[in-house]
Amino acid sequence: MKITIIGTGGVGGYFGAKLAKAGHEVTFVARGQHLQAIREKGLLVKSIAGDIHVEQVLATDQITSIERADLVITAVKAWQIKEIREDIQQIIHSESMVLPLQNGVLAAKELSEVIPAENVLGGLCRIISKIESPGVINHFGVEPEIVFGELNKQHNARLDILSALFSEAGIKSKASRDIEADVWKKFISICVSALLAVTKTTYGEMCELKETYQMMTELLQEIYVVSQKAGVNIKPDFIEKTIGFIKSFPYDSTSSLTRDVWAGKPSEIDYQNGTVVRLAEQYGVDVPVNRFIYNCVLPMELKARNRSLKTI
């Protein structure tokens, strides 16, 4: 299968390397020194599950230079989907699958505004990883997994094809019967990332301190209420399970959004807690913790994007 990985960071680099190692024709889209290092030395994944080195790598910084991709996995930041969707449209064919692994709940919808909806799947991944240095990915937490499904909640042959593809590559995966609910479940849990950013804590530190632990619990409960207003099928015990999952993270681990905010880089805050705030307003729900966290990060986000604070 001809596979395109758009965004060769912690997510795209890891899963793309597994697929390439399994013998598929994988083209990686990357930029700058990272792209140069991949072209010169290949792609190295340092992983708690076993290192991977793909020596001969197809890599480019131009999506439109790729010919007829059968599977496109988008692993860029959530806010970059709108920047790449027209280019993706030019490299797919009628049977192509476009699988977004973005954080948030808007990626499939935003892709479908330009790309034929029948080509777009819903998807998410679980992994804690990052670019360690140019050409090197470090996977340091959570058993990697990809969850995918049809937006209309139907099961068909192409989901079986993807299941087999990931299985052969040694990637844990699940074909979801309700990808909307699964995407929302991850969305709820990742919105804790901004709390880490504001409190300057790791997951372990946040869970250790009574005050930040309480904020985390309230933040999650608020988003659950919004999900119910939106008609998403999530059971009431999900928050308790999510807290247990977060407690299992390595003590010193953080998230990509947290690290981006700390580094003064543009982040996914608008696609995480910002989305919660906007949906809460739409459904008439009060989300004081999420609103506080979003408003705290917003000035830093505007500075990172070189926008005037006067626009607030």
Which distant-in-sequence residues (6+ apart) come within 8 Å of 283 by Cβ? 226, 229, 230
Both 231 and 132 in a single domain?
no
Both 215 and 243 in a single domain?
yes
Residue 52: name the closest of 136, 125, 131, 130 by CA.
136
pTM across the whole model: 0.90
CATH number at residue 294: 1.10.1040.10
Both 30 and 139 in a single domain?
yes
Give residue 29's pLDDT band: very low, low, confident or very high (50, 70, 90): very high
pLDDT attached to residue 197: 98
Q: What is the mean pLDDT of the chain?
A: 95
CA 205 vs. chain centroid, Å, equals 23
The pLDDT tens digits of the residues spanning 198-209 come to 999 999 999 999
Q: How far is CA 74 from CA 8, 222, 266, 275, in A?
A: 9, 29, 18, 20
Both 172 and 190 in a single domain?
no
Both 64 and 163 in a single domain?
yes
Q: How far is CA 124 from CA 10, 147, 180, in A?
A: 14, 5, 10
Structural domain for 275, as ranges = 184-311
pLDDT attached to residue 312: 38
Q: For residue 189, give the amino acid letter.
A: S
Count H helices and E strands in the chain, helices first.
13, 10
- Total domains in the fold of the chain: 2
Both 153 and 39 in a single domain?
yes
Residue reference for tokens 């979801």: 176
**Domain stops at, among 177, 200, 231:** 177
The pLDDT tens digits of the residues spanning 88-120 come to 999 999 999 999 999 999 999 999 999 999 999
CATH number at residue 134: 3.40.50.720
Give residue 306's pLDDT band: very low, low, confident or very high (50, 70, 90): confident
**Domain stops at, among 156, 177, 198:** 177
pLDDT attached to residue 139: 97
**Domain stops at, among 134, 156, 177:** 177
Both 75 and 207 in a single domain?
no
Both 124 and 191 in a single domain?
no
Which structure tokens are listed for 215? 């904020």
Both 166 and 196 in a single domain?
no
Give residue 163's pLDDT band: very low, low, confident or very high (50, 70, 90): very high
Both 130 and 69 in a single domain?
yes
Which structure tokens are listed for 45? 């994944």
Q: How far is CA 62 from CA 8, 28, 97, in A?
A: 13, 10, 19
Query: What's the rounded Cα separation, in Å, for the pair 28 and 12?
Result: 8
In percent, how much of the chain has pLDDT > 90? 95
Higher-pLDDT residue of 137 and 310 is: 137
Let me know the angle formed at the C-alpha of 9 by 7 and 15, rounded to the nearest 5 degrees. Answer: 85
Both 197 and 242 in a single domain?
yes
Q: For residue 111, give the amino acid letter.
A: L
Both 300 and 172 in a single domain?
no
Sign of CA dihedral 224, 228, 233, 237: positive
Average pLDDT over residues 113-133: 95
Sign of CA dihedral 191, 193, 198, 203: positive
Give residue 14's pLDDT band: very low, low, confident or very high (50, 70, 90): very high
